Amino acid sequence: MSFNTFGKAFRFTTWGESHGPAIGCVIDGCPPLIQLNEADIQKELNKRKPGQSKFTTQRKESDKVQILSGVFEGKTTGTPISLIIYNEDMRSKDYNDIKDKFRPGHADFTYFKKYGIRDYRGGGRSSARETASRVAAGAVAKKVLENKLGKKFKISGAVTQLGILGCDTKNWDDKIIYKNPFFCPDKSMLKIWEKYLLSIRKAGSSCGAIIEVRANGVPAGLGAPIYSKLDSDIASAMMSINAVKGVNIGSGINSAQLSGEENSDEISQNNKKTKFKSNNAGGILGGISSGQEIIVSFAVKPTSSILKSRKTINKFGKNTSISVKGRHDPCVGIRAVPVGEAMLSCVLLDHYLLNKAQCG
């Protein structure tokens, strides 16, 4: 029963609303003696920061993080790490339009049904702004994993499908991802995607995306039977990200179409190294990591707030309609890339620590 907490051994609790004074998180279970400072976290937050291109939200936030506890003389102490980011761009904008109306595709209707009250300003708690806290927690997790697993450990995420346009993941180039506004890993698609997304933006519409995240250097043996499987926890992590509607491990949904022969990832041994012929399993067998690359992908639905008018009701049960005024965010999925990286980092560290307890 931890509604706003993620994780078992490495746990973080996020708090805060889109237009409240601040957002933040408390990390509990971070091992001691890890070097950590605000720059380590800021670096990751800057990837997710809004207002960096015309293809994402225009909100202006510096997203400057402060460490309030748990770090002493530059090292973690094993006590809770409290992180805070003050909100800046909370314009005294006119919320009358959404105050009483339920935006289709958003959580307005369901929050109101559940709690009988909702902070309607910018989506309140259900805003994607909450994901900044996850990215901060993920930055800490990454730092610990790099310390524990060494240089071979690496996490890398990208948009591999923008609306109806895919890309060739064989062209995956880590170096270009955060240097293009689509977080696309395939240089050959940049122009095509740009033209496509511009047309969607001009039309006042939006599109979804598929994000893929990969982790290398993860040792075999992380995970747990049966209800804390590594893939089960990853699925939970990714599905908890705003607007995510589907999660795949390895070949994922496409596994259904493979034959037993194609799917089974034959194993061989060469000079004390175990090799797998393929990686349909996405690095996880029976809920436990095999030492192969962990491959996860997830689908983000198109931005629900668009310029076109949509039919809806208000909280008094009257039929009405709603549309976004001014500029909008044509693809919320893009900024989910660093969030996916952060969540995978957190799950992996969680299982790294859990494994210590499990195997005694």
Can you say how many angstroms the Cα of residue 73 is from the centroid of all Cα atoms in its chain? Answer: 31
Stretch that binds its own copies, among 38-46, 53-61, 68-76, 176-184 (CB under 8 A): 68-76
Q: Which amino acid is at 27?
A: I
Burial (CB < 10 A; 0-12, 13-18, 19+), residue 296, is buried
Does residue 206 belong to the site contacting its own copies (CB under 8 A)? yes
Which of 179/308 has CB closer to its own copies?
A: 308
Q: Which of 151, 170, 326, 357: binder of its own copies (CB under 8 A)?
A: 357
Q: Which of 281, 294, 339, 347: binder of its own copies (CB under 8 A)?
A: 281
Q: Which of 46, 52, 205, 279: binder of its own copies (CB under 8 A)?
A: 205
Q: Which of 149, 177, 200, 215: binder of its own copies (CB under 8 A)?
A: 200
Measured between alpha carbons, how far is residue 57 from residues 304, 326, 339 in Å? 13, 11, 16
CB 265: neighbour CB atoms within 10 A? Answer: 18
Burial (CB < 10 A; 0-12, 13-18, 19+), residue 254, is exposed
Does residue 179 belong to the site contacting its own copies (CB under 8 A)? no
Does residue 57 belong to the site contacting its own copies (CB under 8 A)? no
Does residue 46 belong to the site contacting its own copies (CB under 8 A)? no
Does residue 106 belong to the site contacting its own copies (CB under 8 A)? yes
Does residue 250 belong to the site contacting its own copies (CB under 8 A)? yes
Residues within window 297-356 making contact with its own copies, judged by CB under 8 A:
299-304, 306, 308, 310-313, 317-319, 333, 352-356
Which of 173/262 has CB closer to its own copies?
A: 262
Q: Which of 60, 64, 174, 253: binder of its own copies (CB under 8 A)?
A: 253
Q: Which of 24, 50, 157, 185: binder of its own copies (CB under 8 A)?
A: 24
Query: How many amino acids of this chain bind its own copies (CB under 8 A)?
Result: 154
Q: Which of 32, 53, 64, 93: binder of its own copies (CB under 8 A)?
A: 32
Which of 175/338 has CB closer to its own copies?
A: 338
Stretch that binds its own copies, among 13-21, 36-44, 55-63, 171-179 (CB under 8 A): 13-21
Structure tokens at 131: 């994901």
Q: 71-101 as b/e, with b when 16 or more CB fall inside 10 Å? A: beeeebbeebbbbbbbbeebeeeeeeebebb
- Taking each helix axis as running N to C, give the angle between helix 131-149 and helix 336-359, from 0 to 180 degrees, rounded to the nearest 10: 50
Compute the least distance from the CB of residue 228 to its own copies, in Å. 5
Which pairs with CB-CB distance under 8 Å and at least 24 residues apart come from 247-250?
A: 247/296, 247/297, 247/298, 247/299, 248/282, 248/296, 248/297, 248/298, 249/281, 249/282, 249/284, 249/295, 249/296, 250/279, 250/280, 250/281, 250/282, 250/283, 250/284, 250/295
Compute the least distance from the CB of residue 176 to its own copies, in Å. 21
- Taking each helix axis as running N to C, give the angle between helix 336-359 and helix 230-239, from 0 to 180 degrees, rounded to the nearest 10: 150
Compute the least distance from the CB of residue 188 to its own copies, in Å. 20
Site string for its own copies, 220-249 (x = CB under 8 A): xxxxxxxxxx-xxxxxxxxxx-x--xxxxx
Which of 81/177 has CB closer to its own copies?
A: 81
